[in-house]
Amino acid sequence: MQNAQNSLTVPIILWGNKCPTHCVSSILISRRQDFLVTGSHDGQICLWQLKNGSFKATPTMLFVGHSRAVTCLAWLTPADNSFVSSSEAGEMCLWDLEDSSCKEATVVPYVHTHIQAYQLVGRRTGQLFCNGYYPDILVYDVFSLQLLFRLISKINPDWITSTIIMKPPGTPDDVVVGLTVGGAMKVWTIQPDFKSQGREVIFENESKQLAVQGAWTLKSCPTFPRTMLIVSPKAWHIYDAGDFSLLCTTNPPDDTQWSSGDFLNTEQVVIYGSNGSAYLFRLPLKPAKRSQLPGSVADSQHFRRTISSTGTGNIPAVLFGVMKVPNATPLACEPAWTIFRSPKSTGQYPFRVENYIVRGDARGRILVWAIPEYTKEELTTITDGKAAVPEHTPMETTDMDTEWDRLTRRLPGLIDRAEFEDGGALKITSSLYAPIHGRMFLGMEDGAIIMLPALQKLSTQLFIGKKPSDMPVYRFLRGHEGKVTALLYPNQDDQRYDPGMLISGGIDFTVRVWDLYQCQLQHTFVCQAGEILQLITPPSGCNARVLHSICSIASDHSVALLSLKERKAIMMASRHVFPIQAVKWRPVDDFLLVQCTDGTVYVWQMETGHLDRVVQGGAAEDVMRAVDEEFGEGNGNGFANDVGGNTTLQLFRAIKHRNMDAVRQAAKTGLKNLGGNAAGGGANDGWSKTFFGHPLTVQPVRSSPLDQENHLLLFDVEALVLQLLQEENRTDLISDIGKNTPRTDGKPAEWRSSSTIPGSASSAATSAADQYHSKPPQKQIAFATEGMSMTVEVAQLLVSLLYAWGLDPEMDRLCVEKLGMLQPKQAVNYGIISKSGYMTLLLPTSIHRKSIELPQPQERIRDMLATITRGHWSISNTLTTVHLVALVSVANTLMNIQNATFHSDYEKRRKLHRRLMRMDTKAGQGSGPAPELTQGLGGGYSTSEAAQTFTEQQAQIKQTWSQLTAMHCVLLSERLGYENFKPPDVEVMLRRWQDRCLEIRTASQALILSELRRMGGSGRRHLIEQWAMYLPNFTANESAPLSEMRSASAASNAIPDTPASEQLSNEDEDFEELQHEPTVSDPSLPSLYSVEYRKKQSTAIILLGIIGAEFGPETQLSVSRSPSIDAMKAKQETMSVTDPVIRQVAKALSHIVINPDERLQPFSSLRRSAVDLLGRGFLAWEPFVDIAQILLSLLRLTLDGDRQVTIPTGVPLTPAQDMARAARHALEMLASVRPPVFITVMNTEIARHNSLVQSAQTLNVNLNNATIVRAKEELLRILDMLINKHPQSVADLIVEAVEIVIHSLDPGRIKTHGLVELFPPVGRFPMIAFCKQNRRIAVGSKKGGVYICELRGVKMQSYGGHAQPVSSCEFSPDGKHLATFSCKEGKLLFWQIGATLFGLGSTQPRCVKTCKAVSVSFQNWPELKDHAEYRMARQRWVSNKDVMVILANGKEERYSL
Per residue in 594-605, pLDDT tens? 999 998 999 999
What mean pLDDT is predicted for residues 673-700?
Answer: 48
- Helix and strand numbers (H, E) in the chain are 37, 63
Contact 935, 909 (CB under 8 A): yes
**Rounded alpha-carbon distances, angstroms, from residue 382 to 294, 316, 348, 444:** 18, 15, 21, 58
Task: Name 1436's bridge partners.
Answer: 1444
Measured distance CA(372)–CA(349) in Å, rounded: 16
Which residue from 974, 867, 1002, 1093 is spatially nearest to 144, judged by alpha carbons?
1093
* pLDDT of amino acid 1032: 84
* pLDDT of amino acid 658: 45
pLDDT at 548 over 50: yes
Which value, in Å, is the radius of gyration of the alpha carbons in the chain? 39
**Range with the poorest average pLDDT among 70-79, 177-186, 1121-1130:** 1121-1130
Q: Which of the four pLDDT bands, split at 50, 70 and 90, describes residue 67?
A: confident
* pLDDT of amino acid 25: 93
pLDDT at 530 over 50: yes
Q: Work out the percent of the chain whose per-residue pLDDT is above 90.
A: 30
Residues 6 or more apart whose CB falls under 8 angstroms from that of 713 comprise 11, 12, 13, 14, 458, 696, 697, 698
**Range with the poorest average pLDDT among 103-107, 845-849, 886-890, 1255-1259:** 845-849
* pLDDT of amino acid 472: 74
DSSP characters over 120-147: -TT-SS-EEEEEESEEEEEEEETTT--E
What mean pLDDT is predicted for residues 63-83?
Answer: 90
What mean pLDDT is predicted for residues 489-494?
Answer: 89
pLDDT at 575 over 90: no
Q: Which of the four pLDDT bands, split at 50, 70 and 90, describes residue 1319?
A: very high
* pLDDT of amino acid 163: 92
Q: Is the dihedral of CA 67, 71, 77, 81 positive or negative?
A: positive
Q: Which residue has the higher pLDDT, 1060 or 223?
A: 223
pLDDT at 827 over 70: yes
* pLDDT of amino acid 458: 87
Query: Element (H or E) spanning 1003, and its range?
Result: helix 998-1027
* pLDDT of amino acid 944: 65
Gap between the terminal Cα atoms of the chain: 73
Query: Element (H or E) spanning 84, and its range?
Result: strand 82-87
Per residue in 1219-1261, pLDDT tens? 888 999 999 999 999 999 999 999 999 988 888 887 766 666 6
* pLDDT of amino acid 1354: 56
Tell whether omega for the bond before 294 is within 30 degrees of 0, i.e. cis: no
Q: Which residue has the higher pLDDT, 130 or 1137?
A: 130
Task: Name 440's bridge partners.
Answer: 433, 452
Q: Which residue has the higher pLDDT, 298 or 171?
A: 171
* pLDDT of amino acid 270: 93
* pLDDT of amino acid 298: 57
What mean pLDDT is predicted for residues 905-918?
Answer: 64
pLDDT at 226 over 90: no
Contact 1370, 1443 (CB under 8 A): yes
Which residue from 1224, 1213, 762, 724 is spatially nearest to 996, judged by alpha carbons?
1213
Phi–psi pair at 362, nearest 5 degrees: -70, -15
Kindly give the residue spans of alpha helices, DSSP state H, lying in 408-495: 454-462
* pLDDT of amino acid 211: 84
* pLDDT of amino acid 457: 86
Per residue in 1057-1090, pLDDT tens? 333 333 333 333 444 444 443 333 344 444 444 5
pLDDT at 1040 over 50: no
Q: Which of the four pLDDT bands, split at 50, 70 and 90, describes residue 736?
A: very low
Tell whether omega for the bond before 758 is within 30 degrees of 0, i.e. cis: yes
Residues 6 or more apart whose CB falls under 8 angstroms from that of 248 comprise 237, 238, 283, 284, 297, 313, 315, 316, 317
490 DSSP assignment: G
What mean pLDDT is predicted for residues 644-662?
Answer: 48
* pLDDT of amino acid 717: 92
pLDDT at 1194 over 60: yes
pLDDT at 1424 over 70: no
What is the pairing mode between strands 57-64 and 839-842?
A: antiparallel
pLDDT at 1337 over 80: yes
pLDDT at 84 over 90: yes
* pLDDT of amino acid 1228: 92
For residue 1323, give the 3-state DSSP assignment: helix
> Average pLDDT over the chain, rounded to whole?
77
Per residue in 798-812, pLDDT tens? 999 999 998 888 999
Measured distance CA(523)–CA(405) in Å, rounded: 42
Beta-carbon count within 10 A of 292 CB: 9
Q: Which residue has the higher pLDDT, 575 or 648?
A: 575
Which residue from 1286, 1386, 1301 is spatially nearest to 1337, judged by alpha carbons?
1301
Task: Name 180's bridge partners.
Answer: 160
Residue type, 264: L
Which residue from 1143, 896, 1108 is spatially nearest to 1020, judged by alpha carbons?
1108
Residue type, 87: S
* pLDDT of amino acid 1120: 37
For residue 1283, give the 3-state DSSP assignment: helix
Length of the chain: 1457
- Burial label for 1, CB within 10 Å (0-12, 13-18, 19+), is buried
Task: Name 240's bridge partners.
Answer: 227, 245
* pLDDT of amino acid 1422: 60
Q: Which of the four pLDDT bands, split at 50, 70 and 90, describes residue 1209?
A: low
What mean pLDDT is predicted for residues 114-130?
Answer: 89
1217 DSSP assignment: H
What mean pLDDT is predicted for residues 1020-1047?
Answer: 64
* pLDDT of amino acid 1083: 40
* pLDDT of amino acid 1039: 41
What mean pLDDT is predicted for residues 423-438?
Answer: 78
DSSP characters over 300-368: -HHHHHHHHHH-TT----EEEEEE--TT----SSPPEEEEEEEE-SSSSSTT-EEEEEEEE-TTSEEEE
Q: What is the pTM of this model?
A: 0.83
Strands across the sheet with 353-360, in order?
Answer: 336-343, 353-360, 365-370, 396-399
pLDDT at 782 over 60: no
**Range with the poorest average pLDDT among 250-259, 408-417, 746-755, 828-837:** 746-755
* pLDDT of amino acid 350: 40
pLDDT at 1204 over 60: no
* pLDDT of amino acid 918: 57
* pLDDT of amino acid 882: 93
Which residue from 1376, 1345, 1372, 1377 is spatially nearest to 1361, judged by alpha carbons?
1345
